[in-house]
Amino acid sequence: MAGEEQYHNGSEALSMGEVSSIKAVSRCRKLYRFLVGVFAIIGVFFVIYHSGFSLSTIYTNSMAPALIGDLDVPRDVVLSERVSYWFRKPRRWEIVKYDSLELDLKTEVMKRVVGLPGESISIKDNWVMIDGEAIERPDELGYLTYYGYDKLYKGKTAECGEGYFVMGDDSSDSFDSRYEGSIEFDRLEGRAWLIIWPWSRIGFVK
Contact 186, 174 (CB under 8 A): no
Helices and strands in the chain: count of H runs, count of E runs = 2, 13
pLDDT over 90 (residue 197): yes
Could you give the C-alpha distances from 180 to 35, 41, 121, 166, in angstroms and in order? 50, 42, 14, 10
Q: Model confidence at 83, in pLDDT bands (50, 70, 90)?
A: very high
What was the pLDDT predicted at 143? 92
pLDDT tens digit sequence for 115-138: 999 999 999 999 999 999 999 988
pTM beyond 0.85: the answer is no
Instruction: Please give the Cα distance from 167 to 24 (Å, whole number).
Output: 64
Mean pLDDT over each residue of the chain, to the nearest integer: 86
pLDDT over 60 (residue 147): yes
What was the pLDDT predicted at 148? 95
pLDDT tens digit sequence for 12-30: 555 666 666 776 667 777 8
For residue 194, report the phi and psi dihedrals to the nearest 5 degrees.
-145, 130
- Compute the average pLDDT of residues 158-168: 97
Instruction: Please give the Cα distance from 105 to 87 (Å, whole number).
Output: 30
Instruction: Please give the Cα distance from 96 to 134 (Å, whole number).
Output: 22
Tell me the pairing of strands 120-124 and 158-159: antiparallel
pLDDT over 90 (residue 177): yes
Bigger pLDDT: 180 or 72? 180
Q: Model confidence at 38, in pLDDT bands (50, 70, 90)?
A: confident
The residue type at 72: D
What was the pLDDT predicted at 30? 81
Provide the phi-psi class of 201: left if phi over 0, else alpha when psi is between -120 and 50, else beta: alpha
Q: Model confidence at 1, in pLDDT bands (50, 70, 90)?
A: very low
Closest C-alpha to 145, from 173, 110, 119: 173
Q: Model confidence at 141, in pLDDT bands (50, 70, 90)?
A: very high
Could you give the C-alpha distances from 60 to 49, 70, 150, 167, 174, in angstroms and in order? 25, 6, 20, 14, 9
Closest C-alpha to 89, from 174, 192, 1, 164: 164
